[in-house]
Structure formats: structure tokens, C-alpha cells
Amino acid sequence: MTYTAQMIETYPAEIELDHQELARVIDALSNCAQTCTACADACLSEPADELPRLARCIRDNLDCADICTTTASVLSRHTGYDAALTHAQVRAALQATKTCGDSCEEHASTHEHCRICAQACRETQQALESLLPKLEPKGQGPRQPSQAAPQQGG
Amino acid sequence: MTYTAQMIETYPAEIELDHQELARVIDALSNCAQTCTACADACLSEPADELPRLARCIRDNLDCADICTTTASVLSRHTGYDAALTHAQVRAALQATKTCGDSCEEHASTHEHCRICAQACRETQQALESLLPKLEPKGQGPRQPSQAAPQQGG
Amino acid sequence: MTYTAQMIETYPAEIELDHQELARVIDALSNCAQTCTACADACLSEPADELPRLARCIRDNLDCADICTTTASVLSRHTGYDAALTHAQVRAALQATKTCGDSCEEHASTHEHCRICAQACRETQQALESLLPKLEPKGQGPRQPSQAAPQQGG
Amino acid sequence: MTYTAQMIETYPAEIELDHQELARVIDALSNCAQTCTACADACLSEPADELPRLARCIRDNLDCADICTTTASVLSRHTGYDAALTHAQVRAALQATKTCGDSCEEHASTHEHCRICAQACRETQQALESLLPKLEPKGQGPRQPSQAAPQQGG
């Protein structure tokens, strides 16, 4: 069991999402962020005649790394859960992994790091696609007032 | 002219968004991120009998700080611009500033730092609301292949 | 008065550093992070024959952006202040702004965005150099036990 | 083999550090960042009478999460390697994992999430302590001029 899963199990209030799936998505996002950071740097060290066509791929790597890191953090917080915010950020991560996966795939046959990064993006995209409908903000009223004990807001 | 505006002016390709508005949004996001980080910490130093009702506010501050920082970075990149990704991330920031602004506003009369943070969130929310329709992905086809010179992809 | 300064003034416990200087350093770090993110992207959009010699500059921009963002966050927190941690992170930021300032300066005569970014790095470096000695961990004993009220740990 | 290790193996230039150790350190930092983010949030959901004594622990968690994320990114970049910068940032991460490990350990017997987080911090601290001497900036002259092909700067 990873630390991610252990932290979910020891959270002092209830988490309504499936614990295993949540841990898997958070770990996929963390791994994808690292892979994208590394892929951007690997692209920068490609030979001079290769580098220009990798410019967009680098940019997409940087966006995807930032967005996956932030989304992993949002999904790691459960206190005062806000469905609309989580849903919107997960949608942004879905788009970022799709965009970056497409960019890296274009270079997968010439650059191994792009092939691996495309794979990390696709896996994360699929994990997010499966999670997204479970985050749908319900037709619920506004969040409970924050005077409610925070441990009941999970 | 802030550095943000100067960097937009010296970008070596075209940026289709209004330069002044873009600089204003990026600066609002950066300021909002710092304010939220500071507000989370100020809440942590409130007296013991106040702290529990600030738990959700702290959580919303942390999300808003992370999301605003990432959104400022995405909006600071113009190479190989991807409308769908930018649009999705700006929508997430809109939701984050709304959620955090609401949370802080609940405590604005008792905590000055929450009052100021609510103001920073509202300003950023309004700046993002004005920007969002201009980012709408058009019914355009897929992005140009990345073999195109990157300096034409702005 | 910027939001940064206002948040320092409304922090509910004591902050021992000079408030104006602290606000100036935090704002310099936030601005520098944004400028470095924008400079990395501007480099990526330079013509194909220019791009390869900018590879290291881009890398230094990315490091400097990440490190300045993190250092701004650390300096925005005052609860349970830990001198050794703050000192170490500020030293890392000093090195990052020096490294990136040197890299950008090499290209200042050919690329306006590098000239501006070098200036942002130098200003931040100077602000950090002035702050650093005031953060020196004193020969103090260990931090007070955390049972102490947090609002006294500022 | 994790993605981290695969990305190191497919980097197009030489990386002088031991590849397995480097991958282990980067993964430890990523895991530690996630654990600290989750621990801060778990603390926020503890009962009202527990929360005040966790304020410093939350603050240390937030610093440690930010610093570990940034350090993982710096160690994931190899283009134009700068020993002084890497060394300084790894030292900051060493201090952050020590500070946060100490804080969480104080609460390890009452809060399972603090016990797990202390363990993640200790493991990361040890991995960084073992890496640090290998990063020592040598009495080398200045970095090669950036006109050198970037793929030789690994």
C-alpha cells in the first residue's frame, strides 16, 4: 500500500469516493507531473536540428506538469469538499493530459522519452475520465455553513 | 509597466489576446495566490477557539493558491497555444476564486485578513469572468502540426 | 499598499522581520517567478537557429520560477516560524536568481525578454541578499513545543 | 521500473549521478510532498479540541510539500546542470523534511496520519542525506558557456 492509500485510510472523517480509485488517480497525477517535467528537460537536450520541432511539446509538458501537480493536491484534500471546484480542476487535468499526450505521441517514434511520457499522460487521462462522473456536482444546495464541525464536511 | 506587461510586449511572436487585459489577469492571479497562502497561515495563528471554524476557509485558501499559481503559469505561456486547455484551467480558477471568496467573506467581519483575501478573490474572479469568453475554443480544426515553426503558433 | 503588505499588517501575531522589507522580498519573488515562466516560453518561440543556444537559459528559467514560487510561499507563512528552514530556502533562491540572472544576461543584447528577466532576477537576488543575514538561525535551543498557542509562534 | 527511472534511462545525454539513487530520491520527494499535503488536510479535520495544537504541524506540512515538489522538479532536470543550485535546493529539502518529520513525530502516537507522514519525511531525509555529498559543487570554474551544445551539458 502506497503512502497515498495509507493517508486516505487514516483521514479522520469520511471520504465518499472509492478509496482505491482515488489513490490510483492521485498517484497517476503525481507520476505524470514528474514524467512531464523530465520530458520537457529531455527535449531541451535533443540535438539542435531536432529541438525546434519539440518547442510545442515542451510547452505542453510544462502545462501538464503544473496542472497535474495542482490537481493531485486538490484531490488530496477532503476537508470542506467542494464538488464544483474539484470537478472543474479535474476537467482541466483531463484536457492537459490529452493535449500533452497528443503532443508527445507525435514524437514517440523518434524520442523514447516522448513515447514514455505519452503513455503516462494516456494512463492519467483514462484514470481521470473514470473519476470525473463520480465528482459531478449534484443538484445539492449550497455547502453547509462552515460552522459545522470540519470533520463532518469530508 | 510591470514585468508581466513587459514580458508580453517582448514575446517574439503574436499574442492574440488584449495585452493589457492579459497582464492584468496574470497579475491578479499571482497576487491572489500570495494572499490566499498568507490567509491560510493567518487563520492558523488565530486563537484556539476560533481556529476550528476556519478549517474550511484554510482548505479553500490552499486550493485557490495552488490553482491561481498554475493558471498564471498557463496564461504566461503562448507557444503552441491550446484554447481548450487554457479555457478549462481558467474555468477552474474562476470556481476556485468564487469558492474561496465565499469562504473568506463569511469571516470578513471578524478577521481582517479574510476580508482582504475575499477582496483579492473577488477581483480575480471578475478579471477571469471578463477573460473567459475571449478564450472560447472556436469550432476550429485541430491544432496545426507541431512541425510548423513554433514562433508562428503564438 | 499591496495585498502582500496588507496581509502582513493583519497577521494576528507578531512578525519579527521588518514588514516593509518582507513584503518587498515576497513581491520580488512572485514577480521573478512570473517573469522566468514567461521568459522560458518566449525563448521557446525564438527562431529555430536561435533556440538551441537558449536551452540552458530555459532550464534555468524553469528552476528559478519553481524556486521563487516556493520561497515566496515559505516567506508568506509565519506560524511556527523555523529559522533554519527559511534560511536554507532563501539561500536556494539566492542561488537560483544568480544562476538564472547570469544565463539571461548572456542573451540580453539579442533578446529583450532575457534582458528584462535578467533585471528581475538581479533585483530579487539583491532583495534576498539583504534579507538573508536577518534570517540567520540564532544559537537558540530547539523550537518551543507545539503545545504553545500557535499565535505566539510568529 | 517506474516512469521516473525510465525517464532517466532515456535522457538523451549523460547524467553523472547514479541513476537508481537519483530515481529513488525523486520518487521519495514526490511521495513526501503528497503525504504532507494530505497530512495538513487530515489535521484540519481533527476535532476542535485537537486542532490548535496541530497548527504548527500543518504549517510545516505545507512548507515541506512545496519544497519537496520543487526539489523533485530541480532533480528531474539535467540540461545545463548547475551544482551550486541543486546543492542549495537539496539542502533546503533536507531541512524541510527534518522540521516536518519532527513536527509530525510529536503527534505520531495520537494521529495515524502524522505517524505515516513522519515516516515519509524520515525516509526522504535519509535519501537526501545520502545524495547531498555527491552534489557538492567542485572547485570547478564557471559553467561552460551556453553556446556549447545543450546535449553535452547533462
Cβ D69–A65 below 8 Å, yes or no?
no
Helix (H/G/I), strand (E/B), else coil: A139:
coil
DSSP chain B: --HHHHHHHT-SS---S-HHHHHHHHHHHHHHHHHHHHHHHHHHTS-TTTGGGGHHHHHHHHHHHHHHHHHHHHHT--TT--HHHHHHHHHHHHHHHHHHHHHHHHTTTT-HHHHHHHHHHHHHHHHHHHHHHHH---S--SPPPTTS-GGG--
CA A48, distance to chain mean position in Å, is 32
Cβ B10–C42 below 8 Å, yes or no?
yes
Q: Is residue D11 part of a domain?
A: no
Cβ C37–B76 below 8 Å, yes or no?
yes
* Candidate from B55, B67, B89 with C-beta closest to A80: B55
Q: Is residue B8 part of a domain?
A: no
Do the Cβ atoms of D95 and C85 come closer than 8 Å? Answer: yes
How far is residue B65's CA from residue C74's CA, in Å, rounded to a whole number? 13
Q: Is residue D149 part of a domain?
A: no
The predicted model gives C32-44 an average pLDDT of 98
Q: Is residue B94 part of a domain?
A: yes
Cβ C116–B3 below 8 Å, yes or no?
yes
Q: Is residue D37 part of a domain?
A: yes
Question: Does A57 contact D at CB distance below 8 Å?
Answer: no
Q: Is residue B147 part of a domain?
A: no
Question: Does C5 contact D at CB distance below 8 Å?
Answer: no
The interaxial angle of helices B55-75 and C19-44, nearest 10 deg, is 40
* Candidate from C40, C45, C55 with C-beta closest to A45: C55
**pLDDT tens for each residue of A43-102:** 999 999 999 999 999 999 999 999 999 999 999 999 999 999 999 999 999 999 999 999
Grid coordinates of C104? 539571461
Q: Is residue B121 part of a domain?
A: yes
Domain that holds residue B128: 18-135
**Which residues in chain C are contacts of D92 at CB distance < 8 A?**
85, 88-89, 91-92
Number of domains in chain B: 1
* Candidate from C73, C80, C96 with C-beta closest to D85: C96
**Which residues in chain D are contacts of A45 at CB distance < 8 A?**
11-13, 78-79, 150-151, 153-154
Q: Give the per-residue pLDDT at B1.
A: 85
**pLDDT tens for each residue of B15-63:** 999 999 999 999 999 999 999 999 999 999 999 999 999 999 999 999 9
- Separation in Å, CA of B2 to nearest CA in chain A: 23
Domain of residue B99, CATH code: 1.20.1270.360
Q: Is residue D91 part of a domain?
A: yes
Q: Where are the alpha helices (DSSP H) in chain A?
A: 3-9, 19-44, 55-75, 83-106, 112-135
Question: Does A41 contact C at CB distance below 8 Å?
Answer: yes
**pLDDT tens for each residue of B16-27:** 999 999 999 999
How far is residue A4's CA from residue A25's CA, in Å, rounded to a whole number? 10
Between CA A127 and CA D62, with CA A9 as vertex, the angle to 5 degrees is: 80
pTM: 0.93
Of the candidate ranges A2-6, D133-137, D144-148, the one whose mean pLDDT is the lowest = D144-148
